[in-house]
Amino acid sequence: MARLVMKFGGTSVANVERIRNVARHVRREVAAGHEVAVVVSAMSGKTNELVGWARETARFHDAREYDAIVASGEQVTAGLLAIALQDMSIDARSWLGWQIPIRTDAQHGAARITAIEADELDRRLSSGQVAVVAGFQGLGPDNRIATLGRGGSDTSAVAMAAALKADRCDIYTDVDGVYTTDPRVEPKARRMAKIAFEEMLELASQGAKVLQVRSVELAMVHGVRTFVRSSFEDPDAPGMDDFDNPPGTLICDEDEIVEQEVVTGIAYAKDEAQISLRRLSDRPGVSAAVFGPLAEAFINVDMIVQNTSEDGSRTDMTFTVPAADLDKAVGVLERGKPEMGFDVVQSETGLCKVSVIGIGMRSHTGVAATAFRALAEKGINIKAITTSEIKISFLIDGPYAELAVRTLHGVYGLDKTV
C-alpha cells in the first residue's frame, strides 16, 4: 500500500463525463489499497471566463476579490468529483484551500505556499477517506483566499504530496508523458520513461508546457517523485494499475536514472522580444538600476548579454523578455533612463528561443559546437547565446523555430529509439 496524490488538469475535468472518468482513475487506486488525495483544476475554460467577468465588471479591481472569484472554479470541480466518487460507493470529501489550510504569502493572484497544515487530511487518508482538494488556492495572512497564479494546481499537488509524505505525485494531463520535444513540431519525438528534476525544470522554464515551473522546483527541493501520465487512457486498461511502472514519465532524482543521455530534450519558446540598451554607463550598480525596476514590474528577463567598450566607460546591454511584456518593459526603461544612463533603447520582436537540455552535458564536450554547426548548415543565424551547466539556449528569428527544433532533435539522435 502506498500514499498517492493524483492531480487532474482542466481538460481532464472539462465536463461531467470527464469528471466521472477521473473518478474511475481514483477508484482504480483505491481498489489497489492506496491512500489517495486528489487535487483538481477548474473545468477547462472556466478560469478564463471568471477572469473575463472580473475585468468586465471593473477594469481595475481589488486583487483579494479577484482571487475570491477565480478560485471558485476549482471549488465546483472538487465538489463534483467528490459526488462522483460517493456515487461509486467511495468515501470521499472535498476540501478548499482555506479549510486545510494551505498557508500562503500576501501576494494575491501570484501567491507562494508557505506551509500546509495537513494533520486532519493525514488522519482522514489513514482512515481510508479520499480527500479531493481544490487546487490553485490557499489562505493568505489576511485570512482571505489567495490564488497561486496560472498553472498553480500543479504546485498545489506537489506541495500537498510533500506535506502528506506521499510516495508519489501523479500529474494527469492531456498528454501521456514528457517527450524529447513537442511532437506537434517533430513527429519523431519520443516519450521518456524517466527524466531528472533538473532537466525537467530547464524544459519547463524554457518553454515546455507539460508542468508549471514552480511545481518542478518544489518537487526537486522536497524530493517528490512526480509522474506525468494521461487521464484520457482507459482507467481500467492493462498496466494502468502497475504502481511501479505505469505508462507515462517519471520525474525523479538523477540517481534513479542508470544511464544518462548527453542531451535529453529540445525546448522552445516563441514570441520572444529583444531589448538593447545602447551606450549604457558602465559603472557599479547600473545592472541593478536596469533590472530592479523590471523585476518590480513583474517582467521576466532572460538571455542577458553585455559588451564593454575599449575604454570601459560605456557598454551595450541586450536581454530578452516575453513579447507580451515588451511595451511595458520599454516604458519602465524610458522612465528610468536618467538613473540608468543609456543613450537609446532598441527592441525587436518575432524572435524564438530554442534550448538544448541534458545533464550529460556536464561530462561531455562538443555539445555546443554540434549545435552551431547544425544550425549554420540550415542557414539559421544565432542572435544571442546563453549557457548553464545543463543547458544551451539560442535566440533566433521566429520563422526558423520549427526548423531549428527538428534539426537539433535529429543531430543529437533524439529521434532514435533507445
Per the annotation, binding residues for ATP are 7-10, 173-174, 179, 184, 209-210
* Phi, psi for residue 147 in degrees, rounded to 5: -100, 155
Grid cell, residue 270, equals 516563441
Q: How many CB atoms lie within 10 A of CB 311?
A: 7
Burial (Cβ within 10 Å: 0-12, 13-18, ≥19) of residue 65: middle
For residues 241 and 169, give the distance between their C-alpha atoms in angstroms, rounded to a whole number. 15
Q: Which residues are annotated as a binding site?
A: 7-10, 47, 74, 173-174, 179, 184, 209-210
For residues 324 and 319, give the distance between their C-alpha atoms in angstroms, rounded to a whole number. 15
Question: H or E stretch including 22?
Answer: helix 16-31
- Provide the angle, in degrees to the nearest 10, between the axes of the packed helices 326-335 and 286-296: 130
Question: Which residue is listed with cell 524572435?
Answer: 351
Grid cell, residue 219, equals 518537487
Residue 281 pairs with which residues in a beta bridge? 314
Q: How many CB atoms lie within 10 A of CB 74?
A: 30
Dihedral sign computed on CA atoms, order 281, 283, 286, 287: positive
For residues 284 and 318, give the distance between their C-alpha atoms in angstroms, rounded to a whole number. 18
Q: Which residues are annotated as a binding site for substrate?
A: 47, 74
Report helix, strand and coil shares of the chain as percent, to nearest 5. Answer: 35, 25, 35
For residues 6 and 156, give the distance between their C-alpha atoms in angstroms, rounded to a whole number. 11
For residues 126 and 123, give the distance between their C-alpha atoms in angstroms, rounded to a whole number. 5
Listed in order, strand segments (DSSP E) in 128-206 are 130-134, 137-139, 145-147, 168-173, 194-196
* Phi, psi for residue 145 in degrees, rounded to 5: -60, 135
Nearest Cα neighbor of 414 from 376, 365, 358 is 358
Q: Would you mind telling me the total number of residues written for the chain in this entry?
A: 418
Grid cell, residue 160, equals 500537498
Dihedral sign computed on CA atoms, order 235, 204, 399, 333: positive
What is the DSSP code (8-state) at residue 305? E
